Amino acid sequence: MAKVLVIGDLHCPADLTKYRQHCQRIRDKYKTTKTVFIGDIVDAHRWGRWDPHHEADAPPAEYKKTLKRVEWWHKNFPNAYVTIGNHDMRSVKQARTVGIPDNMVKSYADAWGTPSWEWVNNIEIDNVRYFHGEGYSGKFPHFNAAMNSMKSTVMGHIHGVAAVQWFARPGGKYFGMSVGCGVDVDHPYMDYAEKHPTKPMISCGVVIDGSPYVEVLNA
Tens digits of residue pLDDT in 81-111: 999 999 999 888 887 888 888 888 889 999 9
**β-strand partners of 155:** 178
Lowest mean pLDDT among 128-142, 153-167, 188-202: 188-202
User: Please, are residues 181 and 144 in contact by the beta-carbon 8 Å criterion?
Assistant: no
Please give the pLDDT value at position 56: 66
> Whose CA is closest to 158, among 183, 133, 130?
133
Helices (H), the chain: 17-30, 59-76, 90-97, 108-111, 141-149
Tell me, what CATH number does 190's domain have?
Answer: 3.60.21.10
pLDDT band for position 76 (50/70/90)?
very high
Give residue 10's domain range. 3-216
**pLDDT of 78:** 98
The residue-averaged pLDDT of 117-144 equals 97
Is the confidence at residue 192, as pLDDT, over 80?
no
Per the document, the length of the chain is: 219
| Residue 47 pLDDT > 70 | no
pLDDT at position 178, please? 99
Residue 153 has pLDDT above 90, yes or no: yes
More confident residue, 190 or 202: 202
pLDDT, average across residues 50-74: 83
Note the pLDDT tens digit of each residue in 195-204.
Answer: 667 789 999 9
Tally the domains of the chain.
Answer: 1
